[in-house]
């Protein structure tokens, strides 16, 4: 059956005490509502509907790349009211899956189990049994074990409150019946709202089969109402990701001290030390070692590269068997060829560093095209910005650059050239030439040192 997927994201979330929509708060570096949309998008024949209300413009702007049908729910009056707003857009011959923008860890595998059971005369309900069901709607079954209704906490009798099987809020209903049920909803309850859960009793009355599916764990269907719950889901997601990484051959020296805020792919025998953060899309090759307190974002790291502690790498490509850090920073556009070395307190930006080249200490290399086997002395900088425009520095193979050198771009250093320490280079240096550019030293006798006033 074709699928309409409705994501409810209209709530105010006042307990978050935030200036922006609750569903835009992030888990694993991704807004909760985006996580739900990403999961929903994996289902075949899915037509997405996003119900927005409080700060809906923010939510819509953040999710526009999903091409979801945006439905406004001004003055929200419950989940049933939200579905009634979507009803005119539902496909006549399909089924509607209802999800929640603040339940970010729902798994595609669980939703696939639900859709596999969907028929024109079947309602599929996601339920879970909890030791403490307080606050949840209870699943009411008859003597034969068939679901007959869902009773909300505030409307439940003492015997119903003793039920431990609860409603997660996620259900899949055939549209040919759902349209009728939504039209028949009333708000005659303790909350004065239109409950989507009331359609369960209508389905039982109409002879529709009601089947239940269970998630793999409670965190999968846990919602977020405040920052405490948000933090709990963050730790749960990080725990799940750490297990996945270790199962795929990575060694985490402390699985509780890693944060993956995007997509991390690892090869065999990768070792990751504590307090490392990975953002965006990061790929680590075989045998990569990451030291403690490193931050990697949108980068590819080649096999057997070692990244030492407190190193930042952003939007860069690193070749095989490189040696980076500690305290190095690779900014966007950096490309390191195999066996390159970037040492402590070195910053690169939009720089191509050739095979075997070394920038060992206290240097800035920006807007640079550097060849192979270049040695860059400590304190060397490329002066790539003239106050208006950026300019390129070109360094050929086998160049030796002495310490404390300034390369004023645009400038070209030819193959095999040597730059004397302390030089400011403003002109082209030819092959195998020695270039030195220093002021003549002057020594003055009896120089009076400054004194503190």
**What number does CATH give the domain 227-435?**
2.160.10.10
362 has a pLDDT exceeding 90: yes
**Looking at 24-28, 134-138, 296-300, 417-421, which range is the least confident one?**
134-138
pLDDT at 232: 97
pLDDT at 452: 85
pLDDT at 45: 86
Distances (CA, A) of 322 to 64, 92, 305, 318, 340: 40, 59, 5, 7, 5
pLDDT at 202: 95
3-221 fold: Spore Coat Polysaccharide Biosynthesis Protein SpsA; Chain A (3.90.550)
| pLDDT band, very low/low/confident/very high, at 191 (cuts 50, 70, 90) | confident
1 has a pLDDT exceeding 80: no
pLDDT at 190: 80
Question: Which position among 239, 295, 361, 391 bears the catalytic label?
Answer: 361
9: its two tokens:
């994201």
73 has a pLDDT exceeding 90: yes
Contact 280, 297 (CB under 8 A): yes
Q: Where are the domains of the chain?
A: 3-221, 227-435
pLDDT at 174: 97
2 has a pLDDT exceeding 80: no
For the stretch 37-71, pLDDT in tens is 999 999 998 999 999 999 999 999 999 999 999 99
Question: Distance between CA 241 and CA 238 in Å, rounded?
Answer: 5
| pLDDT band, very low/low/confident/very high, at 440 (cuts 50, 70, 90) | confident
In percent, the amount of the chain with pLDDT more than 70 equals 100
Question: Distance between CA 338 and CA 320 in Å, rounded?
Answer: 5
For the stretch 89-117, pLDDT in tens is 999 889 999 999 999 999 999 999 999 99
289-290/270-272 β-pairing: parallel
* Binding-site residue ranges for Mg(2+): 102, 225
For the stretch 197-245, pLDDT in tens is 899 999 999 999 999 999 999 999 999 999 999 999 999 999 999 999 9
H or E element in which residue 38 lies? helix 32-40
196 has a pLDDT exceeding 90: yes
Domains 3-221 and 227-435 fall in the same CATH topology: no
Contact 137, 166 (CB under 8 A): yes
What is the rounded average pLDDT for all residues in the chain? 95
| pLDDT band, very low/low/confident/very high, at 76 (cuts 50, 70, 90) | confident
For the stretch 380-426, pLDDT in tens is 999 999 999 999 999 999 999 999 999 999 999 999 999 999 999 99
* Binding-site residue ranges: 8-11, 22, 73, 78-79, 100-102, 137, 152, 167, 225, 331, 349, 364, 375, 378, 384-385, 403, 421, 438
pLDDT at 417: 97
pLDDT at 412: 98
Burial group, residue 313, by CB count within 10 angstroms (0-12, 13-18, 19+): buried
- The average pLDDT across 179-197 equals 92
For the stretch 118-151, pLDDT in tens is 999 999 999 999 999 998 999 999 999 999 999 9
Bridge partners (DSSP) of residue 61 are none
Assess whether 268 carries a catalytic annotation: no
* Binding-site residue ranges for acetyl-CoA: 378, 384-385, 403, 421, 438
């Amino acid at each position: 059956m074709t699928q309409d997927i409705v994501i409810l994201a209209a709530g105010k979330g006042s307990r978050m005490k935030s200036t922006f929509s609750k569903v835009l708060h992030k888990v694993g570096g991704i807004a909760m509502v985006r996580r739900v949309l990403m999961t929903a998008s994996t289902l075949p024949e899915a037509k997405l509907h996003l119900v927005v209300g409080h700060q809906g413009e923010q939510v819509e702007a953040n999710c526009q790349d999903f091409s979801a049908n945006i439905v406004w729910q001004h003055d929200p009056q419950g989940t049933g009211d939200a579905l009634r707003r979507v009803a005119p857009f539902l496909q006549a011959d399909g089924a509607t899956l209802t999800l929640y923008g603040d339940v970010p860890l729902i798994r595609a595998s669980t939703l696939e189990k639900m859709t596999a059971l969907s028929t024109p005369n079947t309602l599929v309900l996601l339920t879970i049994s909890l030791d403490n069901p307080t606050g949840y709607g209870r699943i009411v079954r008859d003597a034969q074990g068939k679901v007959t209704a869902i009773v909300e906490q505030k409307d439940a009798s003492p015997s119903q409150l003793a039920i431990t099987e609860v409603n997660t809020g996620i259900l899949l209903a055939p549209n040919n019946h759902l349209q009728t049920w939504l039209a028949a909803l009333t708000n005659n309850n303790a909350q004065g709202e239109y409950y989507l859960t009331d359609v369960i009793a209508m389905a039982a009355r109409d002879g529709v089969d009601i089947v239940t599916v269970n998630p793999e764990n409670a965190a999968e269907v846990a919602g977020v109402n405040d920052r405490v719950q948000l933090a709990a889901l963050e730790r749960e997601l990080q725990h799940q990701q750490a297990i996945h990484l270790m199962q795929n051959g990575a060694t985490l020296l402390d699985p509780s001290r890693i944060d993956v805020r995007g997509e991390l792919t690892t090869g065999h025998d990768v070792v990751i030390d504590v307090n490392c953060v990975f953002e965006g899309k990061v790929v680590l090759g075989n045998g990569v070692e990451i030291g403690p307190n490193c931050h990697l974002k949108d980068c590819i790291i080649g096999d057997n590269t070692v990244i030492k502690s407190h190193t930042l790498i952003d939007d860069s490509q690193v070749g095989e068997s490189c040696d980076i850090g500690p305290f190095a920073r690779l900014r966007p556009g950096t490309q390191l060829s195999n066996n390159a070395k970037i040492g402590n307190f070195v910053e690169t930006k939009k720089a191509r560093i050739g095979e075997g080249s070394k920038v060992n200490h206290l240097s800035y290399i920006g807007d640079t095209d550097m060849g192979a086997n270049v040695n860059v002395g400590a304190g060397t900088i490329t002066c790539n910005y003239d106050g208006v425009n950026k300019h390129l520095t070109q360094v050929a193979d086998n160049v030796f650059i002495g310490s404390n050198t300034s390369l004023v771009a645009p400038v070209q250093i030819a193959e095999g050239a040597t730059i004397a320490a302390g030089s400011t280079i403003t002109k082209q240096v030819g092959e195998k030439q020695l270039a030195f550019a220093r002021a003549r030293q002057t020594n003055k006798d009896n120089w009076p040192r400054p004194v503190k006033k």
